[in-house]
Amino acid sequence: MIPDADREALRTAARTALEGGWREGTTPDGVRYAYTRPAPRYPDQFFWDSCLHAVAWSRIDPSRARAELRSLVAAQRPDGLIGHTIFWNGRVRAMRAPIYNVLERGDRATWTIQPPLLGWAWEQVAARSSDDPGFAAEGLAPVAALHGWLERERAGPDGLVGILQPDESGMDASPAYDGPLGLRAHGRLGFMRVLWFNRRRGYRYREVVADGGFHAIDPLVNTALAMSWAALGRLGHPDGARRAAAITAAMVDRLHDPATGLLLPEGPDGRPLRVSTWASLAPLALDDLPAEIGRRLVDEHLLNPARYWLPYPVPSTAADEGAFRPGSLGRVLPRYWRGPTWLFATLPLLEGLLRAGRADAARELAARTARLVTRSGLREYYNPYTGEGLGAGPFATSAIAFDAVERVR
């Protein structure tokens, strides 16, 4: 049971963080935008944050949810790409330009991606948009165009899409990619070499791969794509269900590791990368994940107190990994996602627990999440043992926890 006071505290925190981050305006060339910035230190529109903001907004003010998703679409390039970060407020700040994935300072968005959750978010928001009945159909063409770009630019014959930098996985310094990157890992000085390598190739994935650059098949990114295709199917896209099923099947075929039961990322040499992060549990969010694979993910990993079932779950990296650190790491360039709990993960894993018939555990996850926010507010991430809030705050993207908790009553 979640105490009413915790539920209310979460609703208030979500509303305050989302309202505090709201930005709207018109660019000099007349494009209107409206979105939530995650925190003052992140003033721009971030792709997957925005998808999660929109879902959280849909429980508070659906018109803002729709505006936020429409802004992502307003940033779509003619070829279909919607970048990882969109710079509505003008040019990339000069200080940051060297580490942003742009070709020129005037670029409105990065040339890199984040987990493609747009179709999924569109469906969630459409379900709460009875006051705007055209909204559901409006998403079909832009989301399909984004998926088309991913397929053309990033996918192999089995449809799984690749990433060319670890931050494209959403988990910037994921320890899963330490092996192939070494001193070039995110948050280390050598990461600049990865950035420059990719920039010189115009961020063209196939060129990066051909020239021996870092690349990987990430389970979280492909889960997002399968979720997005499935949602698009339910919104009316004739091919959505088939595409979603094909991606799930390809992930099971290519990423599932029978020894551990995890869906592991595949590294540049085609071999599995064996560090366990929540990205390997994310496929639990898929309707058509084979039940036995889901059962192992839940019993051996998610609900294992030595791995992910810590006092304030779900840690971004399994607690029994050598790389696991429960607190902040890195002062100049923070090294994210190496242990702390990020609330981005709560919703897909909670849905996965419900789907696996583990309603008690889903309720427990929601209750601990609500307690965490009551204790520490909406922060960027948290120590999974103590619940201490870390990183930026108030952090709007963590408002997604409100939606997750509302799903279990």
Q: Enumerate binding residues for ligand GLC (CB under 6 A).
A: 38, 42, 46, 48-49, 170, 172, 336, 397
- Could you tell me which of 229, 223, 231 has the C-alpha nearest to residue 243? 229
Instruction: Name residue 177's amino acid.
Output: Y
- Report whether 206 contacts 191 (CB < 8 A): no
Shorter beta-carbon distance to ligand GLC: residue 261 or 348: 348
Shorter beta-carbon distance to ligand GLC: residue 1 or 332: 332
Q: How far apart are CA 267 and CA 177, in angstroms?
A: 8
Shorter beta-carbon distance to ligand GLC: residue 66 or 84: 84
- Report whether 224 contacts 217 (CB < 8 A): no
Task: Tell me how far, at minimum, the Cβ of 249 lies from ligand GLC, in Å.
Answer: 27
Task: Tell me how far, at minimum, the Cβ of 112 lies from ligand GLC, in Å.
Answer: 11
Task: Tell me how far, at minimum, the Cβ of 158 lies from ligand GLC, in Å.
Answer: 26
Cite the beta strand spans of 37-188 per DSSP E: 45-46, 85-86, 162-163
Shorter beta-carbon distance to ligand GLC: residue 312 or 336: 336
Q: How far apart are CA 273 and CA 214, in angstroms?
A: 13
Shorter beta-carbon distance to ligand GLC: residue 49 or 364: 49
- Report whether 257 contacts 264 (CB < 8 A): yes
Q: How far apart are CA 287 and CA 105, in angstroms?
A: 42
Shorter beta-carbon distance to ligand GLC: residue 48 or 205: 48
Task: Tell me how far, at minimum, the Cβ of 343 lies from ligand GLC, in Å.
Answer: 11
Task: Tell me how far, at minimum, the Cβ of 46 lies from ligand GLC, in Å.
Answer: 4
Q: How far apart are CA 159 and CA 161, in angstroms?
A: 6
Q: How far apart are CA 280 and CA 265, in angstroms?
A: 8
Cross-strand pairs, 315: 341
Instruction: Give, in order, the Cα–Cα distances in Å from 183 to each of 179, 186, 209, 314.
Output: 9, 9, 19, 28
Largest CA distance in the chain: 56
Task: Tell me how far, at minimum, the Cβ of 210 lies from ligand GLC, in Å.
Answer: 28
Task: Assign 152 to helix, strand or coil.
Answer: helix
Residues 6 or more apart whose Cβ sits within 8 Å of residue 28: none
Q: How many CA atoms lie within 13 Å of 150's alpha carbon, on the beta-carbon side?
A: 32
Shorter beta-carbon distance to ligand GLC: residue 38 or 180: 38
For 322-375, the DSSP string reads: TT--SS---SSS---SSSSB-GGGHHHHHHHHHHTT-HHHHHHHHHHHHHHHHH
* Helix (H) or strand (E) segment spanning residue 24: strand 22-26
Q: How far apart are CA 65 and CA 340, in angstroms?
A: 28
Shorter beta-carbon distance to ligand GLC: residue 2 or 396: 396
Task: Tell me how far, at minimum, the Cβ of 241 lies from ligand GLC, in Å.
Answer: 28
Task: Tell me how far, at minimum, the Cβ of 348 lies from ligand GLC, in Å.
Answer: 14
- Report whether 312 contacts 387 (CB < 8 A): yes
Shorter beta-carbon distance to ligand GLC: residue 38 or 233: 38
Shorter beta-carbon distance to ligand GLC: residue 21 or 352: 21
Task: Tell me how far, at minimum, the Cβ of 396 lies from ligand GLC, in Å.
Answer: 9
Task: Tell me how far, at minimum, the Cβ of 100 lies from ligand GLC, in Å.
Answer: 12
Q: How far apart are CA 257 and CA 308, in angstroms?
A: 18
Task: Tell me how far, at minimum, the Cβ of 49 lies from ligand GLC, in Å.
Answer: 5
Shorter beta-carbon distance to ligand GLC: residue 49 or 351: 49
